[in-house]
Amino acid sequence: MNRLHKAVDFCIRHQIILGYSVVSLLTAASEHIFSSVVFKCPCNSGNMLYGSFFLLVPAFVLLLLGYMVNARTWRLLTGSCSPEKRLQHSHWGACVRFRQVLVTVTARALVAPLTWIAVALLGANFYECAASGSMLTKLLFCKDKGTKCQTQLFKIPCDKELSANVSSGWLSVQAQSQLMGWLLIAIIMTVALISTCVSHCCSPISYLQLKFWKTYSKKEHELFEIKAKEHATKLAERNTSCFFEAMDPAPFHTPSNQDWQKISSLYTFNPQEQYYSMIHKYVSTNRGNSTKFEEEGQDLAVLAFVDEVQAGDSAL
């Protein structure tokens, strides 16, 4: 039992990394299934189009899916085109925060499509099919050799014997695909490491305060879900009872539209104000009526930290 608790605690503490790992593994497994079962190179003049579609279109679909399943995408967009929000977004600070959070959401949405492209390049099936129909390959292998050579190039992905008879230069195309795959993986890991190091170095808060912030955000999200369900249940019970029993409803307080707008806006950490979420700021500034509530922090260096910490309360 103690080992089980340790395992659960490990998963909770590293849930973001584990989540990315699961997404990457599922994407790699899907690519393997597509490559071995679904993908069939036509071995004609359509090789370039067919291979490119299998390499890029699923990655684009996974990118769109990454946006759709990220709750922060909808928190960022919901109501952003309303007249009130358009006035808010006219301020430079609000526009910068909007773009910074959008960049972070995009970075997370890119995990699955980049994994697809990297694994597909390592497998080389899609790239081999596309390259066999490209004009560059034709110039490299069929220069001054007539149309027969081009026809053979089209059939290489479907004919292993023909592929073996082609010059060793064709093997360099498969090697090129694998090298591009490893290069893409190395670039992704380097960019991820550098961006993480920069965000930590530029953080205005200490390591332990950041851990406390993450814990607070998680607990606030859990309690918000519980309280929201309780409040919605009581309101629904009151309204349905009044409907069926034909009685006047008893007074029932529920947050106003303005209150919901205040706690739903993007939060930027301000080192001068020790707030950890919009709800915390709303409660601490007289339900958002204080002038402090309208003051927006401009410390862009911690936006990545804010977005990371708010992963637990992104659905609020």
pLDDT digits (tens, 9 = 90+) for 207-266: 888 889 888 988 999 999 999 999 999 999 999 999 898 788 888 888 888 888 888 877
Taking the C-alpha atoms of residue 125 and residue 201, their distance in angstroms, rounded to an integer, is 42
* 3 state DSSP class of 104: helix
Q: Are residues 15 and 151 in the same domain?
A: no
The larger pLDDT score, comparing residue 185 to residue 32, is at 185
Q: What's the pLDDT band for 188 if we cut at 50, 70, 90?
A: very high
pLDDT band at 22 (very low <50, low <70, confident <90, very high): confident
Residue 313 lies in a domain: no
Question: Residues 286-297: what's their mean pLDDT?
Answer: 60
Tell me if 298 is assigned to some domain: no
Distant-in-sequence, close-in-space partners of 67: CB < 8 Å, separation ≥ 6: 73, 105, 106, 109
Distance of CA 141 to the CA centre of its chain: 41
**Cα–Cα distance between 206 and 209 in angstroms, integer?**
5
Cα–Cα distance for residue pair 292/281, rounded to 1 Å: 9
Last residue of a domain, one of 172, 202, 232: 202
For the chain, the domain total comes to: 3
Structure tokens at 163: 């592929």
Q: Where in the sequence is the domain holding 30, given as residue range(s)? A: 1-38
Q: Is the pLDDT higher at 130 or at 174?
A: 130
DSSP letters spanning 75-100: HHHTTTTSHHHHHHHTSHHHHHHHHH
CA distance 155 to 24: 32
Tokens for 116, please give them: 């697809």
Does residue 127 contact residue 116 with C-beta atoms inside 8 Å?
A: no
Measured distance between the N- and C-terminal CA atoms of the chain, rounded to whole angstroms: 33
Please state, rounded to an integer, the average pLDDT across all residues of the chain. 78
pLDDT at residue 23, rounded to an integer: 79
Together in a domain, 45 and 177: yes
Question: Do both 109 and 155 map to the same domain?
Answer: yes
Model pLDDT, residue 59:
94
Q: How do residues 126-172 score in pLDDT, each as one tens digit?
A: 998 888 888 877 777 776 666 677 777 777 788 766 665 655 555 56
Q: Which of 9-18, 32-41, 262-271, 292-301 has the highest mean pLDDT?
A: 32-41
pLDDT for the residue numbered 290 = 64
Tell me the three state secondary structure of residue 250. coil
Token readout for 154 is: 């089209």
Both 117 and 256 in one domain: the answer is no
Burial class of residue 271 in the structure, from the number of CB atoms within 10 Å of its CB (0-12 exposed, 13-18 middle, 19+ buried): exposed
Answer yes or no: do 50 and 128 share one domain.
Answer: yes
Asked whether residue 299 is domain-assigned, the answer is no
Same domain, 62 and 131: yes
pLDDT bin (cut points 50, 70, 90) of residue 29 is confident
State pLDDT tens for residues 48-85: 999 999 999 999 999 999 999 888 888 778 777 776 65
Q: What is the pLDDT of residue 166?
A: 59
Same domain as 34, residue 64: no
Residue 304 forms part of a structural domain? no
Cα angle 236, 242, 248 (rounded to 5 degrees) comes to 125
CB 121, CB 177: distance < 8 Å: yes
Residues 218 and 276 in one domain: yes
Given 170, 202, 234, the domain boundary residue is 202
Residue 297 reports pLDDT greater than 50: no
236 is a domain residue: yes
> Residue 191: what pLDDT?
93
Q: Is residue 295 part of a domain?
A: no
- Tell whether 165 and 244 lie within a shared domain: no
> What is the structure's pLDDT at 71?
82
Both 146 and 234 in one domain: the answer is: no
Q: Is there a single domain that holds both residue 189 and residue 100? A: yes
- pLDDT band of residue 204 (cuts 50, 70, 90) is confident
Give the mean pLDDT of 99-121: 89
On whether residue 64 sits in a domain, the answer given is yes
| Domain annotation covers residue 275 | yes
pLDDT exceeding 90 applies to what percent of the chain? 22
Average of pLDDT values for 3-17?
56
116 has a pLDDT exceeding 90: yes
Alpha carbons 118 and 179: distance in angstroms, whole number: 10
- Residues 220, 171: one domain? no
